[in-house]
Amino acid sequence: MASSSIIKTIPIMANPNFNVCHKLELLKEEGRSGDPKHQEGEEEVLSYEFQEMLESLPKERGWRTRYLYLFQGFWCQSKEIQAIMSFQKHFKSFQNDVVLATIPKSGTTWLKALTYTVLNRHRFDPVSSTTDHPLLASNPHDLVPFFEYKLYANGDVPDLSGLASPRTFATHVPFGSLKDSIEEPGVKVVYLCRNPFDTFISSWHYINNIKSEAVSPVSLEEGFDLYCRGVIGFGPFWEHMLGYWKESLRTPEKVLFLRYEDLKQDMESNLKKLASFLGVPFTEEEEQKGVVHSISDLCSFENLKKLEVNKSSKSIKNFENRHLFRKGEVSDWINYLSPPQAERLSALVDDKLGGSGLTFRYN
């Protein structure tokens, strides 16, 4: 094996002013009605200039939209490109900002829940908050917003100055396209990495569940080939992982690199690591009180999956929250990949990540 949307108002923060200051110049105001094609995500009415720019980019068959475009060295949809361009142009980092980074389907929802609860545990005691904790009524994606899917989506430029410190955000953007926006001293980045085998299977299930009816399903074989060629949202996966891995080695005080499988195996030790990195370490009194264990229970996959808000509501675009919670297991890939496919992906991981020091557990 290889070695290698508007944010809901939440009570703990100063209410941010998410009124749009202005729109991304590249997007026409026309087409923002209820046009179903616009709502699908990639078929919105684009300005001539933006469309010209898109046509200049390499493109491949998309997973849940018609095309993926190679933008700044990674693959993404047209609407994501708009949001990323707006984010890169307008976002101003503050000291003590926290940015959670992942490639899709590698534990993003889980990381948001954990980080939110750790940072806000003195306002919402995870030991005694049995009915009023925000996680019980809000999906983690509503509590920790994405740059590209919420804050800067649709060309919006929100006023984030009213958010209480530490402001906490999330992104799927590779480090190379994020770094210039988070140069402010004191900004912390937490990256969660999942083994590429389970990441692929989780992505394949999720995307086929949420894709537009206008786009044909992606078969396991076709999706696997695209994945191994790097053609998946925010991929190639190896470049995404390596970007954050190398930065965590270069600046460990700025980037914390966590592994999904390690969290599954020993949640409490990794929670302590996370809290210390964020500058809010658990005290001995908290540990004796069971705070770490309570956070682990509150944010567990099993607990989050059973909550009503995660069964019926929608937090990212028009995608139902229930699709965010499938199995959350390590080694589910064994049930899907053939031996030749496993060998191909194993060889690819060795080739792309070998010698980097980045390794995974698959079982």
Residue 20 pLDDT level (bands cut at 50, 70, 90): very low
pLDDT at 34: 36
Stretch 206-234: mean pLDDT, rounded?
86
Helix (H) or strand (E) segment spanning residue 71:
strand 67-71
Q: Which of 141, 172, 205, 240 is catalytic?
A: 172
Residue found by looking up tokens 């990949």 in the block: 337
DSSP calls for 291-356: HHHHHHHHT-HHHHHHSTHHHH-EEETTEEGGGG-S---SSGGGGT--HHHHHHHHHHHHHHHTTS
Cβ neighbours of residue 227 closer than 8 Å, sequence gap 6 or more = 200, 203, 235, 237, 345
Report the distance separating Cα 102 and Cα 317, nearest Å.
18
CA pair distance 186, 94, nearest whole angstrom: 8
Of 196, 186, 193, 197, the residue nearest 257 (C-alpha) = 193
- What is the value of pTM for the model shown? 0.84
Residue 61 tokens, joined: 């068959």
Instruction: Please name the helix (run of DSSP H) or strand (run of DSSP E) that holds residue 100, with its range, or none.
Output: strand 98-101
Annotated active-site residue 172? The verdict is yes
| Range of weakest confidence among 173-177, 336-340, 358-362 | 358-362
Q: How far apart are CA 74 and CA 240, in angstroms?
A: 8
C-alpha distances in angstroms, 268 versus 114, 245, 259? 11, 22, 13
Q: Which domains does the chain have, with CATH numbers?
A: 64-353 (3.40.50.300)
Over 70: is that where the pLDDT of 350 sits?
A: yes
CB 204 within 8 A of CB 232: no
Tally of CB atoms within 10 A around 363: 8
Task: Quick: pLDDT tens for 289-303.
Answer: 999 999 999 988 788
pLDDT at 21 over 50: no
